[in-house]
Chain A
């Protein structure tokens, strides 16, 4: 039943759905609806691979990451980490699992405890998991992690507010690395950084991936960063994956109308290129995930939509090798 280890993906998501209930009333509450944050998605991430998850706010990309980390219990579907279903794990297995998967958040201002010194922030997971009970050796490990992340080891004694945004994000990364994880969810990990600092942190994430053989789920809305960092990319819209392909293939040959809309909306930092582009913004706004459109969720905004798109929900089809598209109107 189990595939050989070498071929088995590190992370496998099958039919994942996360519906947050909306209730009414204070004393007697009743459920009146649900926010379909994630509505049936499948993907797998190979060991050593970086999968990009892109989409606009409310598309479910962050919720997907949280489900994989078991920070949310999904409504339906399975999440297999190294072959084990994370939602059926015993407490003891779960503790071990937590060491193997980590997260880097967007906002280094709010994800670091302002009252803790940087050394304690990074050392805490090592202590909590009992990896290194000896305080001195733990300090050494922290210093090493700081220098791996491009920070002076003397930052150990500083507080987060004494550092710049880029330096704080490096602390967040050092903390994520503290337990030698295999898999890291980077949730908008470079989005809050200044342009000049963003490239530094992107390079650091790449270096760490090579050095420690890490596997990333890179959740972001900035398509140019995603293209640079990811081998494969999944585009989400309103809780569903609408297109998934190898990074170069997806960006060179986007097939889903939504992916095309997203790509054309990104302005290129070059006035000559921009002047030569005929640009037509996509009409409309992202509908509510409480009451998503019928059929294909993109149909109200889609320039290619036909009557059939309102009825049947399109499934992901492999229209070109390793290139999956959920649109009934495009063909390979």
Chain B
């Protein structure tokens, strides 16, 4: 059976004052039905642009999807007309964004935010839609849902707004939910509630999830597979277990080492990733991580290393030295 989503060599560019930015520079990955895949990266790594490209939500100009295929449920989303695409968004693919205040319509009641989707996509009549809205609010754990349905987004707390977003995303029984930093704007205890909710609902309803985040802890808690992005490319991909316990890309290794951990003894000093994030307008033909990499060799300046098998089946790394890294790491440490 083909995967639910297959992204092949996706390219998205932005024309900016400073020059052409290849925000997403040829990424390929798959998402199987029902699984949770994380896309991890720092600001500017292309993780959000990659996800918005799947939904074809890149503002043009300045942005443009310039290459690749997005195969979802047997269809290439790039070949669909805009009305066909609109059918997919919100029905087959649900979305949850970072800031629920800006993604909910401030002048519509909570009921309307949900019933609109249902009427649009499923041709539901008003009564059916409203009953379903009530059901959805109960499902996402909102207390006193009948009262909340009549309220407006500003009357809800951040955590509750994010619950509403999840209800909207789940309204039409989607096959996939794309969640872009869904809990970054929330407090720790609320973040934990929302992530638990998303996990239990996606498992129960069999919905696949793409979680886009910079938080390595969130990934470890919720994702089965991980794609690590740097400067518009996937530099490492594999199971969460492989990525965290047997990383084969210097960026992933450095990133994991740089974060202080509550479950480990306090270290005398943190081990940062040295240097600055890449300037995407000034990339040359070599590996973008090269200037910050302690394992860089001459070859790294010549060509971009391709994403190639490393370690266990399904584990990929875009590093010329991925095979040696396990040994090199011990020497360096």
Q: Residues of A with Cβ closer than 8 Å to B?
A: 56-57, 164-167, 194-200, 202-203, 206, 221, 223-225, 227-228, 247-248, 251, 261-274, 279, 281-283, 285-286
Contacts and interface: CB of A to CB of B under 8 A. Distances in A.
A319 B131 CA distance: 52
Given A194-B43, A196-B273, A224-B261, A282 B220 contact: no
A326 B240 CA distance: 39
B218 A267 contact: yes
A202 B260 CA distance: 10
Contact of A198 (B244, B258, B262): B258
A271 B220 contact: yes
Contacts of B260: 199, 202, 224-225, 227-228
B189 A262 contact: yes
Contact of B262 (A56, A224, A261, A274): A224
A196 B262 contact: no
Contact of A279 (B42, B196, B214, B256): B196
Interface string B88-129: 000000000000000000000000000000000000000000
B244 A271 contact: yes
A274 B273 CA distance: 24
Nearest to A269: B216
Contacts of A57: 187
Contacts of B192: 264-265, 267, 279, 281-282
A203 B241 contact: no
A194 B189 CA distance: 22
B52 interface: no
A286 B258 CA distance: 31
Contacts of B215: 267
Given A195-B258, A206-B269, A262-B188, 18 more contacts: A164-B277, A194-B42, A195-B216, A196-B272, A197-B272, A197-B273, A197-B276, A267-B192, A267-B218, A267-B220, A270-B263, A271-B240, A271-B245, A272-B244, A282-B189, A282-B193, A283-B193, A286-B189
B262 A263 contact: yes
B217 A203 contact: no
A249 B245 CA distance: 29
Size category of the B interface is 35 or more
Contacts of B292: 196
A268 to B, nearest CB: 5
A270 B189 contact: no
A194 B220 contact: no
Interface string B252-273: 0011101111110011011111
Interface string B209-246: 00000111111110000000000000000001100110
A266 B191 CA distance: 9
A223 B277 CA distance: 25
Contact of A270 (B190, B244, B271): B244
A326 B265 CA distance: 27
A203 B271 CA distance: 9
Contact of B276 (A166, A203, A221): A166
Contacts of A269: 216-217, 219-220, 244, 256, 259, 261
A198 B193 CA distance: 26
B254 A196 contact: yes
Interface in B120-145: none
B284 interface: no
A57 B271 CA distance: 29
Interface in B125-175: 157, 159-160
B76 interface: no
Given A269-B216, A269-B217, A282-B189, A199 B42 contact: no
B188 A221 contact: yes
A136 B270 CA distance: 37
B21 to A, nearest CB: 15
B20 to A, nearest CB: 19
B73 interface: no
